[in-house]
A and B are shown apart, each in its own frame.
Chain A
Amino acid sequence: MRTSLKSVLISLLMLSTVFAVDVEGLMAQGNSFYEKGDFKSAISSYEKILKTDMVSTALHYNLGCAYFSQKEYGKAILQFEKARQLSPRDPDVLHNLEYSKLFLKDRFDLPEPMVFVAWFKELRQSLSLAELKFLEEILFSLLIMGVIIYRLSSINSLRRVLLPATMITGILFLFMGGWLIERAVSMDEKHAILLVDEAAVRSAPIPGASTLFVIHEGTSAEILDATESWYEIRLEDGKTGWIIHEAVGLY
């Protein structure tokens, strides 16, 4: 009995080691194909890693680069967006994402948002999920300590300093907590990117519904609703309509 348990544990350990080597090996293989200019093979290696449910910024980034070299801009943008979710301030990821968007056919001329709103949005986007979680935990701890010391301390000068400091910490905690929950909820893929050359956006989730407008590869949209085979999407300029599942990739 004891021997069999031991052998199971050993085999599990070995399996995990083999698994880790496999992912790293595939990544190195993909990079090697990319360096030789064999982008199709590189894509196939990277995609194999994705199937194991393991992710990293470099994996999405490199896969995006490979798709870009194949002029598949929609898929490239999807991968760069995924890389940005993991590392929101990585300069290479941001550069390649913006650069790929230059090749899109659909352009939206939107009014410039207010400085404060733009700054706020940028701040929110610049934090990864792990960073948000870490900040939330730090702020929560500081808030609890601040409240306890403020309530129990009899030193007036300390209390005077603690009151505003704890209030500011509380406000920051609310923001971070809110963003964390929002990000955690949106983890089940709330954005879509068109992966085919062009697709009709229809007025209803029915094949024969009238075409409202046509979008082109790489255009991204927010997902509002979903049925078994259709997504209701909203473009950056506010237009909404239904599109079939097969035409888009989610992030």
Chain B
Amino acid sequence: MRKTGKVMGTRRLFFYLFLGMSSAVFAQTISASLDAKQVLVQESFTWKLEVEGSDDMPSVRLPEIDKIALLSGPMQSSNYTFVNGKTSSKKSISYTFVAMEAGEVVFPAVDVFLGKKRYKTQELKLEVVATRGVNTRQAPANESVYLRAIPSKTSVYVGEPLTVRYKLFTKVGVYNYQVEKLPDAVGFWAEEIPQAAQPRLVSEVIDGERYNTAVLKTVLYYPTKSGELIIDPLNTELEIEVKSSQRTNRRFNDPFFNDPFFTGTRKATKNFLSNPQKISVASLPEPRPRNYGGAVGNFQLRAGLDTNAVFVNDAVGLSITLSGSGNFKSLQLPEPKLPEGIDIFKPERTENISIQGMKHTGSKKSTYLLVPRVPGDILIDPVEFTYFDLKSKKYVTRSSGPIKMSVYDAEGSQPVVTSGYSREEVELMQEDIRYIKSATSRFTQAQSSPFSGRFWFLHILGFIALGAAFAYEIRSRRLQGNVDLRRKANAIKQARKQLKKAQKLSEDSEELRALLHQCITGFIGARLNVSENALDTSEFTHILSQHHVPAEIIQENKTFLEDLAMDRFAPGAVKRSASEWISATQNHFQQLRRVL
């Protein structure tokens, strides 16, 4: 007995050593699987063994198993892949069986030999059902296609997640599986769990009949209030295969000829409605902790500073991280309670939440920027978070513990840039709000319009000036186009010019008298629109009288011109100096100007 025990112990030791070595040295995985979980009597199914990472073909011996019989096998297959310079191989052996009688079939764990090493597969179970009378799920009578809502549980706490799978059972072909709208669920917060556009079809036996099943939607519901709540039915239109009314081969009553290939089918759009779900939602136990904010699940809390030693007015980051799983979407992170002398700025919030294992898992983080304004050791109160733990059915409070910070007095410290804030913003944080303005300020009427009287006056004046300038420009252009008119307009100017020129001439200049004569005759000619060069003194008299010039002025003009001509051609005849002539001309010109 002793000897046997020793031999057994040594063997066992070697065996474990061998198993440990093999698993440590070679990364080989071995798995056994069945292609169905439920079959009908007389239906076939396949048991398959797969080995990854081995060059050797595994060898296996299956024991005798009740209620089934071997149909074919073993079938062997090898598969090599070459990705990124690495070779991987997959080998498999499969056996096909046929179910002989109803009941549960257990495939025991079997030994698998791979080269000289031995492995063990896992145990597998299969259900064999009789063709009639086995009631696995209530199917509506005579329905070839129907929709069912299958909840993960029907009794939950407020805030506890539950999933509802909307499953389609069909005996005919379905062309599209798109569901547009989720059902209404008052009192629930719902989120759809993403899945492939084309659902995977699985074969199942319901009431002894084989259906293809597909999960169209899986929705995660969080109840937000207690009581008996209803999730409305999912209502959707699906395109399915229906038999054509014109059957061509009615006389053959054989399953072979009932195949769609012979019977003829067409597509039809039909509306499907799932069953409503009644969920009883229990309220969370009382008394609730004071700081409880509605979190349900399992959470961990972390809070801490970037650094525990800072200078006065330096920015330091305080991050609060909540991780775990639960009703993340609806919960708020706890806020820190700070002592006097620390300014706190708006937090940068990040979250990384995904749906794993039919619940929301991940983390939420708030990063606050703190700017201590006074030096000294500062103790920030612990950050606390309370949630309802679903496993223990109790409230659990997580605490960060007190957070210590030493603030030193220092001048000219450099700001630290923390994520979420620009350097300018962090620099600004190190300053403070500026003081009020105490100087007397000028008050004005609120809401006074900018369009005051001065504004309108200036603008109207501007436009008037512009208009006047344009009018003047138009007139000048017209004058330029009409020589006579221009001559008339310029007559005064011209006469003055000549007088001015005459004043500059010397006493005995011969030109003086001629210029003065020209001044007067030119003015009369221009104003009366005649050519003065062709006129003598008597003709001037005649023309002036025609224009109703007073007789004494005509006489004066005649005398003046004759005297001037005499002095011009017989110097000394009229005793007048140059300056006297000029003033006489000026006087005469003024007289003529008044009448012409």
Contact = CB atoms under 8 A, between A and B. Distances in A.
B196 interface: no
B459 interface: yes
A130 B454 CA distance: 13
A128 to B, nearest CB: 10
Interface residues of B, number: 39
Nearest to B439: A58
Interface stretch (A93-101, A227-235, A238-246): A93-101
A54 B447 CA distance: 9
A106 B345 CA distance: 11
Contacts of B463: 144
Given A54-B444, A104-B346, A107-B346, A144 B436 contact: no
Interface string A45-80: 000011001111111011001101100000000000
B455 interface: yes
B292 interface: no
A132 B450 contact: yes
B458 interface: yes
A213 B415 CA distance: 34
A105 B455 contact: no
Contact of A58 (B441, B447, B454): B441
Interface in B214-240: none
21 contacts: A27-B441, A49-B443, A53-B446, A54-B446, A55-B443, A57-B441, A58-B437, A59-B443, A65-B433, A95-B431, A99-B428, A99-B431, A102-B425, A103-B346, A130-B450, A133-B450, A137-B455, A140-B459, A147-B466, A148-B465, A183-B450
A62 B445 contact: no
Interface string A151-181: 1100000000000000000000000000010
Contacts of B445: 53-55
B455 A65 contact: no
B577 interface: no
A184 B436 contact: no
Interface residues of A, number: 48
Contact of A102 (B429, B441, B466): B429
B55 interface: no
A56 B442 contact: yes
A61 B435 CA distance: 9
Contact of A184 (B348, B428, B449, B465): B449
- In order of increasing CB-CB distance, the 7 nearest A-B pairs are A58-B441, A58-B437, A56-B441, A148-B469, A62-B436, A144-B462, A54-B443
B437 A62 contact: yes
Interface string B295-335: 00000000000000000000000000000000000000000
Interface of B: 345-346, 348, 420, 425, 428-429, 431-447, 449-451, 454-455, 458-459, 462-463, 465-466, 469-470, 472-473
Contact of A55 (B436, B446, B455): B446
Nearest to A91: B434
Contacts of B447: 53, 187
A250 to B, nearest CB: 12
A144 B466 contact: yes
Contacts of B345: 102-103
A122 interface: no
Contacts of A137: 454-455, 458
A141 B465 CA distance: 10
A129 interface: yes
